[in-house]
Amino acid sequence: METYTHSRDHVQLHDRLFTTLLPAEQVQERVREIGAELTGLYREKRPLFVSILSGAFVFAADLMRAFDGDCEVGFVKLSSYSGTRSTGDVQTVMGLQNDLRDRHIIVVEDIVDTGRTLHFFLNHLRSQQPASICTVAFLRKPEAAAFPVQVDFVGFDIEDRFVVGYGLDYDGLGRNLPGVYHLSAP
């Protein structure tokens, strides 16, 4: 059986050691800020938060609770991502049940890496004729952007290193960590 070790500075998941990048308190503070900004823009519009599964479920849960007004939430499962590299084509696996026409949509993504996932999903969304679309990404890797996508709210811009925590996993582990950790240099 593998040994699970977790301190404030490090966490070991499977065979890899990760180092703290964003402590939990910093994450929560930023989520509250974005929630307040969204409240100012959407309080009277009953927005539909659309969370891209699996990674964004933690961020979406906190973000909608930082939103002070009527809102709804839906989930969509899109891509496959294995190991520590972004691979494969994005595919819709699980669709939204909600009718998006004339709704104000807030797309909630965990991390924009190449931008492929968001680019694909925004094209899909536009075809459903919503009233408006806003994109929120918890993390963004600016150096890795290969697909042009507009991200309206970004939690944190980070360097191009593999991260875990706050919904993001390494081969299934690490989603429950309240902070964000990046791969320690080899």
Sites of contact with ligand 5GP (CB under 6 A): 55, 79, 81, 86, 109-117, 162-164, 168-169
C-beta of 117 vs 135, nearer to ligand 5GP: 117
Task: Identify the active-site residue in 62, 70, 110, 113.
Answer: 113
Helices assigned H by DSSP within 11-162: 24-42, 57-65, 116-126
Q: Give me the least distance between CB of 94 and ligand 5GP, in Å please.
A: 14
Q: Which of 102, 160 has the CB closer to ligand 5GP?
A: 160
Taking the complex as a whole, the smallest distance from the CB of residue 46 to ligand 5GP amounts, in Å, to: 26
Measured between alpha carbons, how far is 178 from 143 in angstroms, rounded to an integer? 25
DSSP string computed for 117-143 = HHHHHHHHHHTT--SEEEEEEEEE-GG
Nearer to ligand 5GP, 42 or 166 (CB): 166
Q: E-strand spans in 58-121?
A: 72-77, 104-112
Q: How far apart, in whole angstroms, are the C-alpha atoms of residue 28 and residue 58?
A: 11
- Closer of 6 and 45 to ligand 5GP (Cβ): 6
Query: What minimum distance in Å lies between the beta carbon of 109 and ligand 5GP?
Result: 6
What gap in Å lies between CA 109 and CA 146, rounded to an integer? 17
Residue 42 CB, shortest distance to ligand 5GP, in Å, is: 23
Whether 113 is catalytic: yes
Residue 141: name the closest of 112, 171, 182 by CA: 112
Give the catalytic positions in this structure.
113
